[in-house]
Structure 1
Amino acid sequence: MSFVKVCKVGDIPEDGALGVEVDDTPVALVRAEGEIHALHDVCSHAEVRLSEGEVYDSTLECWLHGSCFDVRTGKPTGPPATKPVPVYQVKIDGDDVYVSLSKES
């Protein structure tokens, strides 16, 4: 499994999101409830950046139509989205945040 350094922990807002690119793949880094999660940064409903949405509890809400996604699983928790978005593994090393796009666990 290959991890890529994407940012510093402090770059991700408290209860917020940061959009980054990993090997040309858009990734939303989300800090929610004290943990950092990574998921595909494109809404499965409207194909806009999820990182521009609002974060509350463990939910990321799309800014365009209000689709909500669980940041831990990528599954939609509110309409209009019905398809999940991929989630990626995150590793923290000191103050550095790493993401792996690999499907391996």
Structure 2
Amino acid sequence: MPWHDAGTADLDVASARRVTIGNHVIAVVRDSLGDLYAIDDTCTHADISLSEGEIGPRSIECWGHCAQFDLVTGEGELPAPAPVNTYRLKTEGGRVLVEI
């Protein structure tokens, strides 16, 4: 799978940004511990952007209905009916590259 540029790696701790790569809308997330992740940006419970949610250690919470998603596995807690996809990422030269 090819690597795609998802912007700079200079996200603040506990912040996220929404990025569109081809047909994929993803959230690049720096969790509260400072680690970077890439997941689908849309909550599986409702059509709500996860990149606008509250970020904890290894987790992001949908602001609409408080469903939490694990940033490593994509697994969600109720009311999320399904997990979100997660994507491998790496940083090179201050850029985030996501494998899609």
Instruction: Report if the CA contact (8 A) 2:8-2:94 is conserved.
Output: yes
Instruction: Report if the CA contact (8 A) 2:6-2:28 is conserved.
Output: no
- In the alignment, what sits opposite 2:13? 14
**Aligned-pair CA distance for 1:17:** 1.0
Q: CA offsets, 1:38-83, max 9 Å, x none? A: 000110001211101010111100010000000111001x321131
Gaps of 5+ in 2: none
Percent identity reads 34
For the pair 1:84 / 2:96, whether they are aligned, the reply is no
- In the alignment, what sits opposite 1:42? 42
Gaps of 5+ in 1: none
Q: CA offsets, 1:6-61, max 9 Å, x none? A: 10111x23111111101131000111122110000110001211101010111100
Q: Secondary structure at the match of 1:51?
A: helix
- In the alignment, what sits opposite 1:70? 70
Q: What is the TM-score when the length of structure 1 is the normalising length?
A: 0.89
Q: Write out the 4+ residue segments of structure 1 that deviate beyond 3 Å after TM superposition.
A: none
Letter in 2 for 1:2: P
Q: What is the TM-score when the length of structure 2 is the normalising length?
A: 0.93
